[in-house]
Amino acid sequence: MTTVYRPGSLDEFWDMREKYGEALVFAGGTDLFVKLRALNKYPPVLIGLAGVKELQSIEELSGAVFIGAHATHTRLLSHPRIREHFPVLASALRSLGSPPIRNMGTIGGNICTASPAGDVLPPLYVLGAQVELRKKDGSRRVPIREFILGPGTTALTDGELLSGVWLKKEDSFTIHHFEKVGQRKALAIAVASLAALVTTTETGIVEKARFAWGSVGPTVVTSQDAEDALVGLPLGLKALQSIVPIVERSVSPIDDVRASAAYRKALAGNLVVRLAGRGREPLRA
Together in a domain, 164 and 224: no
Q: 261 pLDDT exceeds 60?
A: yes
How confident is the model over 64-89, as pLDDT tens digits? 999 999 999 999 999 999 999 999 99
80-84, 96-100, 241-245, 251-255: segment of lowest average pLDDT: 96-100
Q: Are 223 and 202 in contact (CB under 8 A)?
A: no
The domain of 72 spans 55-168
In this structure, what CATH number is given to the domain that contains residue 73? 3.30.465.10
Distance of CA 42 to the CA centre of its chain: 27
pLDDT at 282: 41
Together in a domain, 20 and 62: no
Report the C-alpha gap between 33 and 26 in whole angstroms: 9
Greatest mean pLDDT among 92-106, 250-264, 268-282: 250-264
Q: Is 137 left (phi over 0), alpha (psi -120 to 50) or beta?
A: alpha
Together in a domain, 161 and 252: no
User: Taken in order 199, 201, 203, 208, is the CA torsion positive or negative?
Assistant: negative
Percentage of the chain modeled with pLDDT above 90: 72
Q: How many folded domains does the chain comprise?
A: 3
| Band of pLDDT at residue 29, cut at 50, 70 and 90 | confident
Together in a domain, 60 and 164: yes
In this structure, what CATH number is given to the domain that contains residue 241? 3.30.390.50
pLDDT at 277: 63
Together in a domain, 192 and 99: no
How confident is the model over 215-247, as pLDDT tens digits? 999 999 999 999 999 999 999 999 999 999 999
Together in a domain, 44 and 70: no
Together in a domain, 109 and 28: no
Percentage of the chain modeled with pLDDT above 70: 95
pTM strictly above 0.75: yes
| Band of pLDDT at residue 28, cut at 50, 70 and 90 | confident
